Structure 1
């Protein structure tokens, strides 16, 4: 049930043969994101459980979920971009049902992220699910 933008990332990963190239691609995805407005970097949008500073600002518009995010770490900004591709535009009721682990496994991220980054990624996914579940 992946979004087309996420499927595009999967296709890019299949084209890139080694993890270093994939890692650089994730960082480029993060660089391409608009930075989160400084006014939105507040305790309410900060994600606990991440080694880096991470902020997620969710929005529900017309029953569809989306979020903006930012981090002080480039790889984490890239992971936020990957999650945006996975979740943005979904009907809010579908967000908690996304098998994020299964979808992200298509990118082989777990094998290449440090345990701290993996924990942070899980914390971001959990925040997204909680917000969406509260709205659906």
Structure 2
């Protein structure tokens, strides 16, 4: 399956990183680049349940392709969510259903740093994206 341009950039950037410290810095930078969600979007209806941190997610289908925006109160999670958005933004509903989260973070060299709770949280974000796309 071909990757969106942002996802290709992410893979190239993270694979070039010389170890965990550099990846952690990159992760924070990706999180800082996430556009801020408006307070109007930070509602309980947009909150992703199943995350230890607070994560809010909104999505819209534009010309058959999904565009998601998200935010989190935790810096590391914001970075991980930013990388997830890089992977899924621009996908069709069908392609979104096929995203393999462990494989994606494995490609980035981040899977070992994903604790079970972070992994579950990111899975909850992806499930929420899929449920929005089911509507």
- TM-score normalised over the length of structure 1: 0.92
Aligned positions of 1:1-136 closer than 5 A: 1=1, 2-132=3-133, 134-135=134-135
Mapped to 2, the partners of 1:129 and 1:104 lie a distance apart of 18
* 1:25-79 residue CA offsets vs partner (Å, 9 max, x unmatched): 0110110111111100111110011110000101111111011000000111111
SS state at 1:120 partner: helix
With 4-13 and 99-108 compared, the bigger mean Cα shift is at 99-108
SS state at 2:113 partner: coil
SS state at 2:59 partner: strand
Structure 1: segments with no counterpart, 5+ residues: none
Structure 2: segments with no counterpart, 5+ residues: none
SS state at 1:56 partner: strand
Aligned CA RMSD, in angstroms, stands at: 1.2
SS state at 2:67 partner: strand
Offset, 1:88: 0.4
Runs of 4+ in structure 1 off by over 4 angstroms are none
Aligned pairs, number: 134
- TM-score normalised over the length of structure 2: 0.92
8 Å CA contact 2:15–2:109 kept in 1: the answer is no
